[in-house]
A and B are shown apart, each in its own frame.
Chain A
Amino acid sequence: MRLRPSLNRLHALALVGVLLELVLLIGVLYPFALWRVPDVVAASRPLARVLGHEWTGAVRFTGAVLLASTLFAVAAWLAGTQVGRGARALVLAMTVVYSLSLLPINPVGAQDIYHNIADARTVWHYRDNPLVLPPAAYPDDPLAGRVPAWQSTPSLYGPVWYLLAGVVTAIASEGLLANVLGHKALTALFLFVVTALAIRLADRLKPGAHMGAAAGVLVGWNPLLQFETAGNAHNDVVMVAFALGTLWAMSERWWWAVFPLLALAVATKYVLVVLAPVLLVWLLARRAAPRAAVIGSLLLGVAIGVTAMVPFMIGVDLLDAFWREGCFVSASPAALLHTLLGRLLPSDGLQRLTLVRAVLWPMGAAAYVVVLWRLVRAHTEAAVASACFWVIVLVLVLGLSWFGP
Chain B
Amino acid sequence: MLAVPFAALRPGSRAAWMAVAWSAGALLLYVPDTWLSPAEPLVRQASLVATAFAPPLLVALGYGRVYPRRRAAHPALCVAPAHVTGGRAERA
CB within 8 Å of B: which residues of A? Answer: 44-45, 47-48, 53, 55, 57-58, 61-62, 65-66, 68-69, 72-73, 76-77, 79-81, 83, 109, 194, 198, 201-202, 205-211, 214-216, 218-219, 222-225, 227-228, 234, 236-237, 240, 243-244, 247, 271-272, 330-333, 335-336, 338-340, 342-343, 382, 385-386, 388-390, 392-393, 396-397, 403-405
**A208-B84, A210-B80, A331-B48 are contacts. A222–B11 as well, Cβ < 8 Å?**
no
Q: A48-B34, A247-B9 are in contact. Are A218 and B19 (CB under 8 A)?
A: yes
Q: B3, A405: Cβ atoms under 8 Å?
A: no
Q: Is the contact region of chain B dominated by helix, strand, or loop, or is it mixed?
A: helix
Contacts of A207 in B (CB 8 A): 86
B30 & A109 in contact (Cβ 8 Å cutoff): yes
Chain A residues with CB below 8 A from B7, complex form: 218, 389
A77–B88 CA distance with the chains assembled, in angstroms: 13
Given contacts A201-B9, A331-B45, contact A223 B79 (CB under 8 A): no
Q: How far is the CB of B83 from chain A (nearest CB, A)?
A: 9
Please judge, given known A-B contacts A45-B34, A397-B53, whether A79 and B11 are in contact too, CB under 8 Å: yes
CB distance from B88 to the nearest CB of A (A): 8
Q: Which 7 pairs from chain A and chain B are nearest by CB? A: A80-B79, A214-B11, A218-B8, A69-B24, A224-B23, A405-B26, A389-B6
State the CA gap A68–B3 with chains docked (Å).
20
CB pair B28–A385 under 8 Å, yes or no, is no
Contact B84 A386 (CB under 8 A): no
- Shortest distance from the beta carbon of A379 to any chain B beta carbon, whole Å: 14
A and B contact pairs by CB, cutoff 8 A, 6 listed: A48-B35, A109-B30, A214-B79, A223-B27, A240-B5, A388-B6
Within 1-46 of B, Cβ neighbours of A (below 8 Å) are at: 1-13, 15-16, 19-20, 23-24, 26-31, 33-35, 37, 41-42, 45-46
- The CA-CA distance from A313 to B8 in the complex, in Å, is 35
Q: Is the CB of B3 within 8 A of A205?
A: no
Specify the chain A residue showing the minimal Cβ separation from B56. Answer: A393
Establish whether residues B6 and A392, one from each chain, have CB atoms under 8 Å apart when the complex forms: yes
A202 to B33, CA, bound (A): 34
Task: Write the chain B residue with the least CB distance to A222.
Answer: B23
Nearest residue, chain B, Cβ from A215:
B8
| Chain A hits for B42, CB < 8 A | 336, 339-340, 343
User: Closest Cβ of chain B: how far from A213's Cβ, in Å?
Assistant: 9
Q: B90 — nearest CB in chain A belongs to which residue?
A: A209
User: In the complex, what distance in Å separates the CA atom of A304 from the CA atom of B53?
Assistant: 36
Rounded to whole angstroms, the CA-CA distance of A394 and B42 in the bound complex is: 23
Knowing A202-B11, A215-B8 touch, does A392 contact B3 (C-beta < 8 A)? yes
Interface centre among B19, B31, B34, B42 (most CB of A within 10 A): B34
Assess whether A224 is in contact with B45, with CB atoms less than 8 Å apart: no
Of A69, A205, A219, A382, which is within 8 A of B27 by CB?
A69
**Residue picked from A61, A331, A385, most chain B C-beta under 10 Å:** A331
Q: Cβ of B5: which chain A residues have Cβ within 8 Å of it?
A: 194, 198, 218-219, 225, 240, 244
Docked pose: A336 CA to B42 CA in angstroms: 7
